Amino acid sequence: MHHFFVEPENIKSGKVIISGSDVRHITSSLRLDVEDEITVADGAGNKYLVELSSIEDGMVIGEIKDEILKEVEARVNVTLVQGLPKSKKMDLIVQKCTELGINEVIPVETKRTVVKLKDSKAKRRVKRWQKIAKEAAKQSGRAQIPKVRRLMKFKEIKELLEDYDLVLIPWEDEVQIKLKDVLGELKETENTKNIMIIIGPEGGFSSKEVELVKDAGAYSVTLGSRILRTETAGIVATTMVLYELGDLG
């Protein structure tokens, strides 16, 4: 079934109003008609089964037939802090992590980040990643659109840490503590709700950076014995966290 997002204010009194470019998509590309069913979400976690009731120029109106239970969203909130990678890897990371069920992505500049973005370019990039997140959320039938936050400096991340129950920083120099061990222990307690995963750029983190967040309570972990590219590490760590603590798989 085709899935769309609308602003929360466009859902009221059992009706949904769809406007903008989605109208042309519904009428011209998909050739949907009155009585056809779609799903609609408000991007904040609510998702509905909707029957189209009126199609006019520039506006489609539908009636809510049923509320789709929120189980389409993961039980835990995962934030991925991603060291800015080269080329279009961030597009891939945002798309795949959205499908997996991530809550938030924060691109970050670290000591070894090669790509340097000026303010205006960084803003355009964030806008583009936010668009990718929306498209991927639509495609994967999510009720929520992950938020892509502004490009931050690494030291700003430290200030955010207190909002999280668990902060993981996969690091190639960590050989003792496995991600699996940390997740295995936490599974028992079941009150881990907000999780942050911090992934370095191509060159990895400096020890100083790792110490900075470890001092604030983060766990440095290994993802195993094979070297993963930066974009693989983000997708794979998110998969393992959502598999163990969320609902993936």
Nearer to its own copies, 59 or 227 (CB): 227
Nearer to its own copies, 151 or 197 (CB): 197
From residue 1 to residue 40, the character string flagging contacts with its own copies as x (rule: CB under 8 A) and all else as - is ----------------------------------------
Judged by CB under 8 A, does residue 239 bind its own copies?
A: yes
From residue 106 to residue 145, the character string flagging contacts with its own copies as x (rule: CB under 8 A) and all else as - is ---------------------------------xxxx---
From residue 50 to residue 79, the character string flagging contacts with its own copies as x (rule: CB under 8 A) and all else as - is ---------------------xx-------
- Identity (one letter) of the amino acid at 147? K
Among 96, 132, 146, 213, binds its own copies (CB under 8 A): 96
C-alpha 181 chain-centroid distance: 24
Judged by CB under 8 A, does residue 218 bind its own copies?
A: no
Judged by CB under 8 A, does residue 235 bind its own copies?
A: yes
**Segment near its own copies (CB under 8 A); pick from 22-30, 50-58, 95-103, 202-210:** 95-103
* CA–CA separation, 74 and 246 (whole Å): 5
**Segment near its own copies (CB under 8 A); pick from 8-16, 114-122, 148-156, 217-225:** 217-225
Judged by CB under 8 A, does residue 155 bind its own copies?
A: no
User: 42 in the Ramachandran plot: left (φ > 0), alpha (ψ -120 to 50) or beta?
Assistant: alpha
Nearer to its own copies, 51 or 135 (CB): 135
Nearest to 202 by CA among 237, 236, 239, 227: 227
Binding residues for its own copies, rule: CB under 8 A, are 71-72, 92, 96, 99-101, 139-142, 178-180, 183, 223-229, 232, 235-237, 239-240, 243-244, 247-249
